[in-house]
Amino acid sequence: MQFKGISFILLMFMTLGCYAQSYNDWVDSSYVYISKKDWVSAEKALLSAVRKEPANPQNSLLLSNLGTVQRRMGKLDDALKSYNNALMITPRAVTLLKNRAALYSEMNRMEDALKDYDRVLMYDEDEENALYLRGLLRLELGDTAACRIDLERLYKLNPQSTDARIGMATLLKCRHYYDNAIDLYNQVIRAEPENSAYYVGRGEAYYYLKKYNKADEDIAKALKLDPDDPLIYVLRAKVKIARYDKEDAALDLKKAVSLGFDKNEAQNILKAGVEL
């Protein structure tokens, strides 16, 4: 009986100790969990810290981290609430606005994302990453002229910018200047030969030029560097379709879907059966 009583007392102390964690304890725990990519525990720790001291000004950072953790978990609506709450504390926080803009893009709310990038550049007109991302977003929305303005400004700010070259190459492909795009991809590949995305971009330009053997070479290089990128398999499927090999193309698209590519879009590519 005596041992049972001692065990009960120890259990009570352990339980009370868990509930008595301080604000800083929860914050420290959240960083540990984030480093381990334990998103569920990180979310719990961050929420516990914010609830422990709701008026603490550091909560802006914690809510930002919480939003990012929730994005990792696929809880996009919760992530948006966390970013919104963080921006209520620090409404001019550029990093927060960029995070929310990226989330809006992920949620296919492009106009909202554009507004956040506009705010970032209103507060810091030389924010290079925001210029690059806003330029690409404008391109996606079909505003090629505005996209070019952002990318040319980025070039002016930083003539060595890889983002400026990649962004301009993407724009040139959309405007069917494939050879010019390839020249820009050549430049960034010489500087960063281990980046698979650059080979995918150049391979796509070769594909549109009907230089399928060249596209094959870039696809092979990209696969060696990052075999889990679904866009590589999508590009390879398009090349196979151009060669009238729909059966193998279907296998590549199935692989792309398993890696996160949109299933409906994959089906549309296969149904078209022609170069896209």
In sequence order, which residues have a C-beta less than 8 Å from that of residue 41 and are 6 or more positions away? 29, 33
pLDDT 10s digit of each residue in the chain, 276 long? 444 555 544 444 444 444 568 999 999 999 999 999 999 999 999 999 999 999 999 999 999 999 999 999 999 999 999 999 999 999 999 999 999 999 999 999 999 999 999 999 999 999 999 999 999 999 999 999 999 999 999 999 999 999 999 999 999 999 999 999 999 999 999 999 999 999 999 999 999 999 999 999 999 999 999 999 999 999 999 999 999 999 999 999 999 999 999 999 999 998 876 443
- Residue 180's identity, in one-letter code, is N
Does the predicted model carry a pTM greater than 0.85? no
Residue 254 CA to chain centroid, in angstroms? 22
Residue of 269, 266, 220 lying closest to 242 (CA atoms): 269
Instruction: State the sign of the Cα–Cα–Cα–Cα dihedral 211, 148, 196, 230.
Output: negative
- Residue 222's identity, in one-letter code, is A
146 neighbors 121 (Cβ within 8 angstroms): no
